[in-house]
Amino acid sequence: MSDKKPNVFPTPEQMREANETGQKIAEQLHKENNVQGYQVPESEAAAAAEMARRTAEQIRLRDEALAKNKKIAEEAEVKRNEMMNQTAPPAVPPAVPPTVPPVVNNNYDTTPPSPKYDPYIESISQPQMNQPYDVIPLPSGGKLYPGKKRSVKVAYLTTADENILTSPNLVQNGQFLEILINRKLLEPGLRYKDLVPGDRNAIMIWLRATGYGEMYPVVMTDKKGEEFETEINLSELKTIDLTVDPDAEGLFNFELPLSKHNVKFKILTCGDIDELEEIVEKTPEGVVNEEQTLILERQIVEVDGNRDRTFIKNFVNSMRILDAQKLREYISTINCDVDLRITVRTPGGESMSTFLPFTPRFFWPNVTI
């Protein structure tokens, strides 16, 4: 059997002969039919033209609709294929928490407690700017605060303040003093929690002396253990000015004797002390009291130029004992306060040295002790 394909296309000669034959047949039919042209009326021609136009328009609209439907169908097919080809992500087995052996939690929370916002306390703590005031010097000379003001404006106690002093709830939870000083301290940007204790004491004693009088009745105990009542003139108390000058930031420098690290520290404010006391109160019973370490953590601001709080915490917990002792000793020499040392006469005529006690009669002179 031959592999040669059959030739099914006509040759050029056959095509020429077919064309000649077709031409002859066409001429013969034209002669036989004797086709004659004729004139078509204009109305019929216009109608025919309009019909042709409408037909063409309908065909165009149909073709456009078909093309649009075809495109929509193709896009839908593409999306369907994409969805069909998508594979579901492999199932992730649920995480199993690691098994941790039980431990005794001695790391109780030592972070400073967040301040509790009380709209009522905040409203009654606002400075009474329209009240009469006086300017009193600070034992710190203002060197520990950003403004460096040696004296501050403090308003006098009024009957409105007496409402706070006689509020059982405020007195019981100890908030009355903070509220009172915040109301009376007329320095923008300086509040009770920003004050160091010595400056707070100076303001507190001034408020008492100008509000209820300079004479403060107290009950003392002599060497024989017998109680007697006497009066202290608050105006005679002396002021201890800041004994060491800080740097421009209100900080102090100290080189640790053993490790030779240089630390910068600050004097704790009333706010710092209140927070530390609250942390200590949260210490569970039976847990080692870390008060001394916490105080150093709060006092130290910088170690060899490093102010990272986590670094300082770890540094304090790793300090050598002698370094810590010497630092505490040096901090204790830096003082600014009201000198609370007093000398009183006993009923027997003896002279007795002691410290000024703060009793309920300080702000409530009519209280019976």
SS3 per-residue string spanning 60-83: HHHHHHHHHHHHHHHHHHHHHHHH
Is 15 inside any structural domain?
Answer: no
- In this structure, are residues 208 and 177 in contact, taking their beta carbons and an 8 Å threshold? no
| Statement to judge: residues 217 and 134 lie in one domain | yes
* C-beta atoms surrounding 207 within 10 Å: 22
Is 276 inside any structural domain?
Answer: yes
Q: How many CA atoms lie within 13 A of 42 on its CB side?
A: 0
| Statement to judge: residues 127 and 236 lie in one domain | yes
| Statement to judge: residues 170 and 312 lie in one domain | no
What is the pLDDT, as a whole number, of residue 18?
56
180-190 pLDDT tens trace: 999 999 999 89
Is 190 inside any structural domain?
Answer: yes
What is the C-alpha separation between 338 and 361, in angstroms, rounded? 19
| Statement to judge: residues 323 and 302 lie in one domain | yes
- In this structure, are residues 354 and 344 in contact, taking their beta carbons and an 8 Å threshold? yes
Which segments of the chain have a pLDDT < 50? 1-9, 35-38, 87-106, 108
- In this structure, are residues 219 and 193 in contact, taking their beta carbons and an 8 Å threshold? no
| Statement to judge: residues 151 and 206 lie in one domain | yes
| Statement to judge: residues 206 and 343 lie in one domain | yes
Is 110 inside any structural domain?
Answer: no
| Statement to judge: residues 327 and 357 lie in one domain | no
| Statement to judge: residues 200 and 169 lie in one domain | yes
94-151 pLDDT tens trace: 444 444 444 444 454 555 555 566 888 888 889 988 899 999 999 999 999 998 999 9
What is the C-alpha separation between 16 and 226, in angstroms, rounded? 154
Is 349 inside any structural domain?
Answer: yes
Is the four-CA dihedral 270, 192, 147, 238 of positive or negative sign?
Answer: negative
Is 358 inside any structural domain?
Answer: yes
Helix (H, G, I), strand (E, B) or coil at 140: coil
Q: Which domain holds residue 153?
A: 119-241+339-362
| Statement to judge: residues 302 and 220 lie in one domain | no
Count of domains forming the chain: 2
Tokens for 163, please give them: 């409402």
| Statement to judge: residues 236 and 142 lie in one domain | yes
| Statement to judge: residues 347 and 326 lie in one domain | no
What is the pLDDT, as a whole number, of residue 136?
96
What is the pLDDT, as a whole number, of residue 99?
44
What is the pLDDT, as a whole number, of residue 240?
95
The residues facing 50 across adjacent strands are: none
Is 66 inside any structural domain?
Answer: no
| Statement to judge: residues 224 and 321 lie in one domain | no
Is 4 inside any structural domain?
Answer: no
